[in-house]
Chains A and B, each alone.
Chain A
Amino acid sequence: MKDDHGDKAMFWAGGTDMMLHWQRQKYHPEFCIDLTRLDNIGDINVEADKITIGALVSLTDLENSSDRHHLLATLSTVTKLMCTPQTRTIATVGGNMCNASPAADLSPVFVATGAEAVIFGSSGERRVSMFDFFEDVNKTALRGGEMLKEIVIPLPQERQIAASYRRIDRTVVDIALVNASTALTVDGDNTITMAVVALGAVAPVIVRSDAAGAGLIGKVVSDVDDGALTAAGEAAAADAKPISDVRASADYRRDMVKVMVRRSLSDCIEQLKG
């Protein structure tokens, strides 16, 4: 149907963002393709080497999955910051991704944890990293009649991963002024082998600051001091390209990137120290 009607038809999952776009005349759909009755992409599966989150998983279901894996516990705390309890029952994880807001709360966590989007369309299935999934504000790697099927978070083998998310907002039921998610992977000796820093609301897409992560690789978790965390925050702020808008000035956002990254990394380190 999407192939037949092109831009006139829009996929509709929870619709919590779409309804607002529609009311504000941003989109003029002639057909809404309701996805909520598809039943095989609404599950969360935890396996030894990956966690799969179906695109139609509601934010409430994600929130309630916290006891199934520690990364799901991190995602659960993120969902609690999103909209309201009665909107989370209908809003979906896939919808949050496909709306591609640079301030979306889940996006930086998926980027930090190295997750991949599984996309399917009439020509079959393909995979794109969540980092490449976002192309611009409200624009994703989906083409033509393609749909997001699920998000896959790979789990490192014989290593541990910890992820955290921090954000600054103005008030309740608000989007982030700035957010950051970080993920640290350590080997058996608690030496950091991978450090990913992802920033939201500081560019049209999620920014991944490789410079911020680079300074931590090779360090033993217990040796990471405040100086190293501050340096990572500074490096991340240098990679941010924030704008000034009604919510905050660019300078404030850049300053807050430093704080969010430092705190988020420090959360990860606490988790890894156990």
Chain B
Amino acid sequence: MTALKVNGRTLEVGSRPDRTLADALRNDLGLIGVRVSCSEGECGSCTVLVDGKPTTSCLMLVNQAEGREITTIEGIGTPDDLHPIQEAFVEEQGFQCAFCTPGFILSAKAFLAENPNPTADEASVAMSGNICRCGAYPYIVRSVLKAAEKLRANAAGQPAE
């Protein structure tokens, strides 16, 4: 068995070495917020955070993730207690069908940790590794900027709005 640190818990997955991190997260752990679409690292829907960095989990072997902190969409908020980035995506309607949304939110989380006060262009470039086939991009950029606002307000100790 391979032990993975996922969303703050240590969980065991089957250790067949010829499988991807995305496969293990989805099929062994049921974390189906990890969406697999292209399997080639182009679409970004399988994005998870590995040690805080956005990573296409379809291209990483499961054993390479051993011992690293993995965060999936299931680890950053619950339906009753959404993460500020999730709230921002809901408020700004940063999705249509929402298939790609977990990947966008995780990319946004890593990006905003590095750049808490981005311009629209910077947000757009940072989201360039995620494809939204519904074409909700303008709303997604607005969501990221709104999320940045909320996170900054939280950091300053005041609730947003």
Chain B residue contacts of A34, Cβ below 8 A: 61, 63-64
Other-chain contact of A90, B17, B39, B60, B107 (Cβ < 8 Å) = B60
The listed residue (A12, A36, A85) touching B129 by CB distance below 8 A is: A85
Candidates A23, A36, A60, A84; contact of B56 at CB < 8 Å:
A84
Distance in angstroms between the alpha carbons of A36 and B68 in the assembled complex? 12
Distance A86 CA – B39 CA, assembled complex (angstroms): 13
B67 to chain A, nearest CB (A): 9
Chain B window 39-55, contacts with chain A (Cβ cutoff 8 Å), 1 for yes, 0 for no: 11110100100100111
A173 near B59 with CB under 8 A, answer: no
Q: What is the distance, in angstroms, from B50's C-beta to the closest C-beta of chain A?
A: 8
Residue of B40, B55, B59 contacting most chain A CB atoms (<10 Å): B59
Neighbouring A residues of B119 by C-beta, 8 Å: none
Chain B: interface residue total (CB-CB under 8 A): 25
Interface positions, chain A 40-99, Cβ under 8 Å from B, are: 60, 83-87, 89-90
> B17, A86: Cβ atoms under 8 Å?
no
Beyond A15-B59, A90-B60, is A32–B17 a contact (Cβ under 8 Å)?
A: yes
Contact (Cβ within 8 A) A86 B44: yes
A84 and B42 in contact, given A19-B59, A89-B53, A89-B54 (Cβ under 8 angstroms): yes
How far is A90 from B20 in the complex, measured between Cα atoms in Å? Answer: 13
Using Cβ atoms and an 8 Å threshold, which residues of chain B touch A14? 59
**Do B60 and A173 touch across chains, with their CB atoms under 8 A apart?**
no
What residue of chain B has the Cβ atom nearest to residue A12's Cβ? B61
Residue numbers in B under 8 Å from A15 (CB-CB):
59-61, 64
From 1 to 20 in chain A, residues with beta carbon under 8 angstroms from any chain B beta carbon are: 12, 14-16, 19-20
A172 at the interface (CB under 8 A from B): yes
Docked-complex contact A60 and B53, CB < 8 angstroms: yes
Q: Interface centre among B47, B61, B107, B130, by most A CB within 10 Å?
A: B61
Residue positions of B touching A, CB distance < 8 A:
17, 20, 39-42, 44, 47, 50, 53-56, 58-61, 63-64, 107, 111, 126, 128-130
Given contacts A20-B40, A83-B41, A86-B47, 8 further A-B contacts (CB under 8 A): A15-B59, A34-B64, A60-B53, A84-B41, A84-B44, A85-B126, A85-B128, A86-B41
Interchain residue pairs with CB less than 8 A apart (24) = A14-B59, A15-B59, A15-B61, A16-B56, A16-B59, A19-B59, A20-B41, A32-B61, A84-B42, A84-B44, A84-B128, A85-B54, A85-B126, A85-B128, A85-B129, A86-B47, A86-B54, A86-B56, A86-B129, A86-B130, A87-B41, A89-B54, A90-B56, A173-B42
